[in-house]
Each structure stands twice: as C-alpha cells, then as structure tokens.
Structure 1
Amino acid sequence: MRDIQHVEAHLTQVLKVPQSQILKLTSTSSDPESREPVESIDRLATYANIVAKFKQLTEMAPAGAQVYVHYSGHGGRAKTVYPKIKGREDAIDEGLVPADIGESQYLRDIELGNLLKQMVKKGLITTVVLDCCHSGGATRGDAEVRGVEGVDTTPRPLKSLVASEENLAKTWQELTEGTRGLEPGRLLPDSKDYVLLAACRPNELAYEYAFDRTGGERNGALTYWLLDILRQKTPGLTYKDIQDFLNAKIHSQFSQQTPMLMGEGNREVFGTEFGTAHYAVTVMKVDETDRRILMNTGRAVGLREETSFAIYPFGIKDFSQENRIAVATVVEAGATESWCTVEVIDNKPPVKQSDQAVLLAASTNLVRRVHLDSTERTTPEEVSALQTVRDALKDNKWIELESDKPIHYIVSLNQSGEYEICDSAGKPYPNLRPAVNLGTPDAAQTIVKRLVHLAKYQAAEQLANLDKSSPLTSKLIVEWVGQLEKYDPEDGIPDISTLKPFDDPNAPMSKADKWIFLRVHNGSPSTLNVAILHLGSNWAVTQIHPHDPGSRFITLESGNEEIIPFRLSLPTGYTEMLDTAKVFATVGEANFRWLELPAIDQPLTRGGNLAGKNPSNSLEALLSTITDEAPETRSLNPAKYPSKEWTTKQVTVTVKRG
C-alpha cells in the first residue's frame, strides 16, 4: 500500500497524469492483528478485480498510448494448473498473490502474459514493474522478503477469468517462441513487445526495508530506488539506465537481490512524451548565516535526507551543468518543505529566493553505518568480542555505529564463533577470507579494516555520472560480445561472428580459463580516453586495460571501437565468482588508478605510482575521495564535479569452475 501511494503521487504530482486515468487496487489492514482489509470489495486487490482492471485499462487506453503497470506485493509459486501448456505435470506456475488468495487463486504467469499480449496487440506501449519475488525465507536485520516460501500445492479454482485454456496456450506459445524456455523463478519469458522490470533474478529475494528509520515506513527496495531516479526527470533516460542505477543501489545493499530487465532496454522511459521536461522546485527561503535554503518539496513525494539538487537562477530554461550556480543537499526533510545545505560553485552568483532546484542523482554514501548484532550471543566472551569491535570503531571516519538512519552492514558471531559481516538483510558477504574468530589476534581491528574496505569498494562500484546534460550521455557502449574456449592473443582479435554467444546475454556466465571479449564503442563526437577497471569478487579494484602500470588509458576516436579479450580465472578454493568490468571514458586526461584497491586484508596503498601524489584535476579529486584514508565528506555527489567530460559503464559476468 505504501509503495503504491508513492507511485500514485509521482504519477499525479510529477508527471501530471489525471486521476481518472489511474486504476488502483490495494489491500490494507486496519489493525496489525487483523487480516480484514479497510477497502471496499470493488477496490480490493482480489484475483477477479486485478483481471478486470487489466482488461479495463486495455479497453480505455487508445492505441499508441503509454501504459504503466506497477505491482508491489507478494509473489508465489504453485504447482501448475496448465500441465499441457507447460509440457510437464510437475511444472511450476509463477504468480502474483491476490488479497483473496485464501479462497481464490494466483494470477499465474500464463494469464499475466495473455493480459500483456492483449495490450500490445492494441498498440499500447507497455511498461510493467513487478516488485516481488517468488521465494521466501527468514532474514536478519530490518529487511523483509516479498515472497511466499515454498511451492504451493493447495487445490485452487481451475477456471481462468482471463481467457480460455486454448487462448492462453496460443498466447503462451507466441511469447515463448524462439526462446530457450522459461527459466525457473522467472515470471514471464523475454519479449520485445513490452518492457518488464522485475525486482530480482530467478531464485533471488526481493526485499522491503525501512529506508526512513525515523518514521519506520517500509518500502520495497525496487520501488524506492525506482522512484528516486524517476523523480530526476532526466532527458533521454532509458530503461537500461534505470537498471544500471538500480543494480548499483540495490545489489550493494541487498546482495541477494539483482533487478532484472526484459524487453527493449534502450527504449526511453515512458517514450519521448516525457523525455525533455525537468521537474523543478522553488527556493522559498535563504538563510545566509547558516548557508541553508528552504525548498517547497518533501516526504510527501518520497524525498529523503542526503538527496541533492542543482540550483539554477530564476527564469532560466536551460538546465545544463554550465548554468548551475550551486548544489544543495537535503538535511531536514519535512512533509512539504525541506532544509538543505548549500555549496556555491566557484565564480557563480549566490542563491536567491525563487531560484529553481532540479533533482539530481542521490549521493553515494561514503560514511556507512553498522549494526553489531548481539541478540543470540550470551557468553561473556561473545559479548566482549562485539564490544571490542564497538571500541575499535571509535573515531573511524568511514564506518560509524547505527543511528536512526538505514544501516549498511551487520556484524555478528556465528555458531562456530566466527565473525560475520552481512549486508543490511543479514546475508553474509562472500569471500571474506580467512575466517576471523574469537581467538584471532587483533580480531576487532581486522573486522573494522574489512568494513572500511567494503565501504570503499562499494563506493567505487556505485560511482556513476547520471547527468543527462552531459554530451557523453548514452554515447559509450559497453557489452560482452562472446566467448572462446581457446584463443591465442598473437592471432589478433577474432571476428565477432566467430564468437560463441552467451546463453543469457542479460546475465552472461562462463567458465574459468575461457576467453571472453568486451566491446567498447565511442559513439560521441569527441575522442575519448578509456580505462577499464576490474571489480573482483575478492574485493580488489584493479585497472586491467591498459594493464601496464605506466599507462593510464587508451585513446578511442569518435565512431571507433575496440574489442578487448580477457581470460577468466578463479582463485584457489573458489567455485564461482561475479566479476565486474567498469569502463571509464573521459574527454580530458585522468588517472583512474586512484580507485584501485588491493584484495581484502591486504595493506591499503596507492597504486599506479600514485603514492605521495595529489590529484592533478577535479575529476581525479573525485576519484581519490573514494580511497582516501579519511573521506572529506559523508557522501559523494558527482554533480559537484565537472560531469560533461566523463562517463562510465559497467558489465558483469559470472565465472564458474569448469
């Protein structure tokens, strides 16, 4: 219910969608102890009502219209009631869980596919967001899972309100034709007919979390961060841009949740109809003494602390970076008004009442918060061990103990007496080796060093330039194009057509010792300097191209591209790792080795002959902030640095032992 209210507020207040064009079904309990909903039966998210609203939306929307469907709730898995269509008696139906599931049935994948197909056949430009998952389980910390555990075998009604079984079978065949079949845990097959943004990959979990610890309101992670980027109203934003943003924000906080994108990812969000507008709010007051401003926006539209705005003079229509006069960061978010601190840009006029503020990307947290979980630890040794970690955190500039704001890490002791560092959902981070137990010398100091290392690694992982006014926006193309079992670099780069494609291009997977090939294309009118960094599962950040320590970048002229081979490997003792290639491109010169980190537990030293040196330009100053011994600021906002001269893209690949 909370998510849907925020989505509705965005549609009506920001995008100005008339209330008459919004169909909404919810299920809200008046009493936490009661399951009785407050909605009347016609407004309740029952199976029959969901199907009816889908059909009503299809009927009322004219051909060529934009249609947006948002589901925020539980997903489930049940024994199929369509074995002939699925081809197996023991097949599983994925589905959405209606409010009347106790006496009704799921909205099953086959039915949802049919409803969407009818929209497409009418010529509707359809976008679907599913903030749910199809598996459940227990979590630690403050996060909850949006799924029903196990496979439901309860006998349920067989009659579909969507279509006849013959019609459902025909549509399902059309949707799955030419695919490799439906992967377990995936609600819908890949289709270019519509865009589908799902909360997580098959067999992963979709979390909801109290992002605002003060108010205690819980939101789905996908919906929360999706609205965060949609509020920016950045021109030219594509669904692939959104997926990149969501991956950085969600996956670094909830390691078991990786948002999925299916369909035409390069399509602009909501088409071109909304592609050029900016959502600007007004500076209501200026407090020159405390260098603060009051703006007429707040939590009513989902705003939160640490969100940043670019400030422009009153009356200006060109919201490019050159016209910015300051950057404001929210420190007190009220219902409809918020106080912000202000950083005036050099050689720009001061901020005045009635100036305009345009929402920017949320800052990347540098200082991160940790919760020391002692709920199951009762022996004096265990209590003392966590207290030692607490003491070791005193005066640390990167990690602080939890407050009323969201936590990033949980530290606890497991049944074997080993320290565990977990994400905010309580999932232990992998590959933190060797294990640290109660008897390990300097155990607390080691745990604190690992927390600092993780904070720096994840800040580098999340670093992005989302300034759509930059001429480099969407001009850098980065993709894995294929793999080879055997390859000799002396033979030169093979033709792309000779490479073996990945089984799933959206989630490429390969085996150790194979060669994979990365395509980097410069679609901008400028010559770009390009460097590629490897973000390894051993928590190291290393420049891998150009690899020579004395080389900072390669030069790629406008319209040109380079195919770069990489040989995959796994360290001893590892069976699977997720590797990330992060590509940076700049118009000017920059040394991206400022971001380099060694493997975890290795001494943190500057790489690339940077020891004792200072950044040579403002972009390098941005990069060096992430790996400084102590961050100069609590959060990092690329908007405060020249954004028209650099961009970055990253791609991942799962590496398995052969």
Structure 2
Amino acid sequence: MTTSNQCKWAILVGINYYGYPKDEQLDGSINDIRKMSTFLQEFIQIPAANISMYHDFNEDGAIDKDVKLKRLPTGANVLQALRRVSQNAAKGDFVYFHYSGHGDRKETQYSPLKGNTTTFDEVLCTLDEEIRDVEFGKILDDMVDKELVVLVVLDCCYSGGATRAGFKDQDGNSIKLRQPPNRKRSSNDDMSKTNLDPAKLDTGSSWLYRDRGYNMLAACQPHQKAGEYHGSEGILTHFFRETAESLYAGGSQVTYGMLQSMLNTKVERYFNLQQPMHLGESDKILFSSEIASSSSTDWVNVKKKYSLVGKLTLNQGEVQGVAVGDRYGIFRPGRPFLGLDDKEENLLIYVRVVLVKDMESEARFVNDDKGTTSYGRSGAWKAVKSGYFAKLISRQKKATVIILPDEVHSNIIDLMRQQWKSHSNFAAQISLDFESVEVTKADYFVEIDKDSRTLDIRDSNQQALEDLPAISIDSLDMTEKLMQLLAHLHSFRLVADLQHPSDSVVPKYEFSLTRTVVPKDREDLVARWNLRFTNKHTEILYVTIFNLTEGYAVNKVHPRQGAASVAVDPECDIALDLGTKVPDLLIEKACRGAFEMQERFKVVITTSQTNLSHYCLPDLRNLKIRKLRDTDIMAPRECNWFIVEESVVIEVPHTYSTQAELQKQIWERKEKKDREDEGDEEDEGDEEDEENEEDEEDERYEEDEEDERDVEEGKVTEEKIEEAKKRKNTLD
C-alpha cells in the first residue's frame, strides 16, 4: 500500500499522567503507542529507527529506564519532532503521527486569523503545555507542501462539558474519558471559516477540519467524548489497529472510507457516545497517496448479527436510501474485494432487507440473490461477524427506461438488449424495457438520433435532456456508457426531489441565501452568495448542505471531504461565502454566448448525526466509467429530518465566453495528449522520436497547468485573452 522506494516515519505521543489525582489520570495512552509501534513495524514496515516515541512518567512517578528527558511528551519536544521529520523526509515519504492523551478546547489565540467563524482553538494537551490547532495544522500543511504522505490519528476528546463519571460500555463497565477533568461547559459555534470558493470551504469548526492534503482520523466528533477500552487502550486506537490488521492482512487496496465504515460499526457497539471521524479523501488507499481503482461507496457494514434467528442489522437505513426488498451480498474482510473484487469465492451469503429504520436496517438471509427466503448456505451464517461488508446487489425499486424501437438500427437495439444486464453495478438500479410497442409511463426514454448516430435521452415527459455527453452508437462501450449515464441521472433526480415527510416536526431555525458582489479579480465566478443557517432549536441540530448544478453534479459544500453532518448548537450558526462557477458540462455553451442557468442549495437537517456523502455526484463533463452509488431516498418513518431548499437563476454574461474558451482549449489539449500517450504505448518502434515529442508536449502541458491555475484563481491576463482569441481563430 506504500511504494517500496519511499521512506516511512512515525511520531507516537502517549500521555497518562498529567499531575491529576490517580483516579483521574489515563490508563491506556502509553499502551496505545507501544502497540501502534509494533503494528507499524510489522504491517507497514516502518523501521524502528524511524519511529520516535514520547511518553510520560509511570503512575508511581518513577521514570521508565528507556525514557530519557528528551523523549518526554512536552510541547517543545513534540513540535521539534514534527519539524525534524518534515525537514529530513523527502518527497513521497510517508509520515504517521499518533497522539493519545487529553484533548481540549480553549478560547482562541488566533482571532484575526479565524475571524468570527469560531471563538475556540482545539488543543492537544502535552505534558507541560498545549499545542494549538493552528500551530499543529501549519506544520502538517508544510509537510503536504513538501509532497509528503501524511496520516494523523488523534485519540483524544474535542468536546466541551464532559464529566468523567456516568459513561458505560455495552457490558456496563465504566469508561474513562480522554478530557481534562473539572472543565466548565463552553459553547460551540461550529461555524465554518468563510471562503469565497466552494472548492476551498472549511469542514466543521476546527482549524484542522478543513480541506487538506493529509488524512486524519479523530476519535470522535467535536461534540462527543473519547474513551478508553477496558482501561488498557484508547477506544479509537484499539479498533483502528484491530480493523487495519484484519483488512491489511488480505493484501488488498484498503481505503480510508472502508476503514472508517468498519471503525464506526465497531466503536458504536462498544461505546455509542463516540463516533470516529475521518477527514480527507475516502477513496485513498490506507497509508498511501494513491486512489483506489474503484469506488467503495456501494458497501455498507454488518452492525449486529443475531445468533439464532438468521437475521442481522446493517449500519444504513432510510436516510441513506435503503428500502425493504433491497438485496445485499455479505463479504469477508481481508479478501481481495477491494479494487472492488466481488467474485463468487469471496461471497459468504446473500441477505434481503425486511425492516428499515432511520439509520439502520434489518435483513434476513436468503438462499440466493433472487430473494428466496431461507437461512442461506450451510456454515456461511456462522462465519459472518459484525463489521463485515455488505454490497448492494439489487434495489427493490428501479428506474424504468424504455428503449424506443428503431427498425433501421435494430442491430444496435439487439446489441443493447444482450449487454445491459451484464453491467450489474448499474443494472441494480436501472431496468431497460425493450418490449413496449406503445409509449407508456417510464422514468426515461432512449431513442437513436439517426442524423448524429447518438443516443437521445428524454425525461418522463419525453422532453429532451439538453447538454448531456454524447454517446455514439458506434462506440464499443455504448451500452456501459448509457447505463452509467442513466444511473447518474436517476441518482441526481432522487437527490433533487428529496423532501421531508409531510408530518415532520419542523425544527426552529433561520436560513438565508443572499447574493453579494463578485470581486473584480474573480473572473471565473458568475455569482457570489452568503449562506447562513442559525439553530433556533432547543437542542443540537446536525446539518449537511448540498449544491446541485445544471451539470448534474451534487456537491457537498458543508462539511467537506466526506465528513459526517455538522453539529450546530442552539443559537449558533453556519456562515458560508460561496462562489458560483459555470459547471464544466456547460463550458461549451458558455463559449457560444450568454445564457441562464439554475443553482439549487439543499440543507438537510437531522436530529442525529449521519453521513450523506454517498449522495455526491460529479459533473457529467468529468464522468468516467466507474461504479456509482445508488441514492434511492425514502422518508424516515421517525421523521428525524427536515429539508430546506432554495433555487436561484443566474445569468451567465456573454463576456464569460473568453474565460470559457480558455478552459475548453486546456481540456482539448489534455485530451489530445492523453490520446497521443495511448498511441505511444502501442508504438514503441521509434523511442527517440517519442521522447522528443513527449518533451514538446510536456512543455505545452506545463503551460496548460499554468493556464488552469490562472483560470481557477480568476487571473486571466490580457495576454492570455489574446492567445485564446488567436487559438480560437486558428481552430475556426
């Protein structure tokens, strides 16, 4: 999972004794880092010489023989270790940082930097002083700038108002919390740091919880408490190590999203007041900078198995789109299903959903994927455990698509008829109908355009869907492209149509979307908005904000990067400064002149925390053949969610055409280079000529990258505008 030629480094910090009374000190922090050191050496092959460990005194106050003063977990020592590794590591090296101890929130010392978005700093409580989030985050950012691969694990509290008594595990045993004792309750504003560009919005309330180039695992959400596992380890550390070992042992491409899903399931069963949080790219391979070969969002987890009645509980429910009748296959972890290989030999058993709740669902074993009810294969039931993966096999409710007959191109229709079911990833949610002679009710209609020899897709009213990517009937992967496009359109429509039940209890809140002035130096933006959500309810509300574009994209603008919904305290708010760009799918339309487009902002409010990241969809201009997560959405029976929505119409001026033309030319040159690279791989006869061509193309590609950065930053100079016009004239 890490490249063989990279160096690997680790900094491990564990603190039990802070000078509090004996019954208030921690028990498992030092044990955490010792076990993590063994894990990192055995599984990740980090040399012992590259692992720096910092821990404190024993309970009796004596100093371990192997602990020198320079290895004590003081603030200065920890920061010096981070900076030393950052200085010594080379581009591409892997750096692991683990902190086990107390965490806290204090009044911010960085008001000018954080503005009015938060009055708190998250802090790591070292032996003698606190390391503030801004200082810690700056060092991590420096590592990323140096192109190091960074993973941070923080097994500590970040919440306010926790006491050390009254918390039990599933067996009734007391759980010790990793938060300094005798703290007064402090309010949490959970407001995001404002930023003009939606692609650069912060996540959550912490300075650390923002878009980043590193991955982070936090023991709990900002409002929760982190505890210890049987007094011997931190809960996060124990289940992180256990889960990573079981997954890593299979030699598979384990993603952070997979790890997080299993972690949440295991931790919730042990201590349901703590929910770990992953921040970063969920499709990245664990301990690596690489992206997994395919998406892992089709997978859910077994939350609980009932020993005698042949049923189990899955960790997703109606809020995540699960419905009665859905069928899943159960797979054992540690097998080569990641990439994601769902071959028969890795499958344990099939289940069918029989009961759906808001955040979980109950399923019973079936004999096969057709839904025949029984207790399943002999022996397979015993092998299933909590945390095992369940992959969607088929949705009970599918989108119906009528393929209109065409006598002239009957061979194309027959080919489509033969191929569509083989694309099971999309056939789970899309059903093609070739038999309807007369026009009947359907979700979509598909017809062959005889002039352009492309597929024409229409909505349920048979209105043509404009600006879709063209699918040629002469393309070898025509059917696969059609199935993926239909699955994408169906998922987008389901999110767009998402509404709360009519009998929902409406929470008290204030919501506003105000249009503001676009700065003159941001020529890439066509509109700017101030979005504000204020919790006027008497309890915490959990909020997720989506932006739906005319490029058929669903962007989660708050929180970012796959994080769960943001907790907003009573009388606290979220304030976002958003910039609207022309969707990639509409860039060519923008080149032709002025037009109007619609943007939609959808706020999902829940009374318990959930992760709705699987609703996100890319712009259709950037769609590639890959697995898509179905987003079949149903209203929760317990009515624990509510939807706020506002649509706005934006006029794209004709002056935007130059900006769009420059972006279009960048794409065209990149696509041309990709095609030439593919040709170079097939023709190895003249290596010298290829190298010369590649050098010239690389120079042009570097210019393209510079142009693209300017486009992203809105810095299109007069010289580039003239270049764009000349290129356009040349193409014409």
Which protein is richer in helix relative to its size?
2
TM-score bracket for this pair, using the shorter chain length: 0.3 to 0.5
TM-score in terms of structure 1 length:
0.42
TM-score in terms of structure 2 length:
0.38
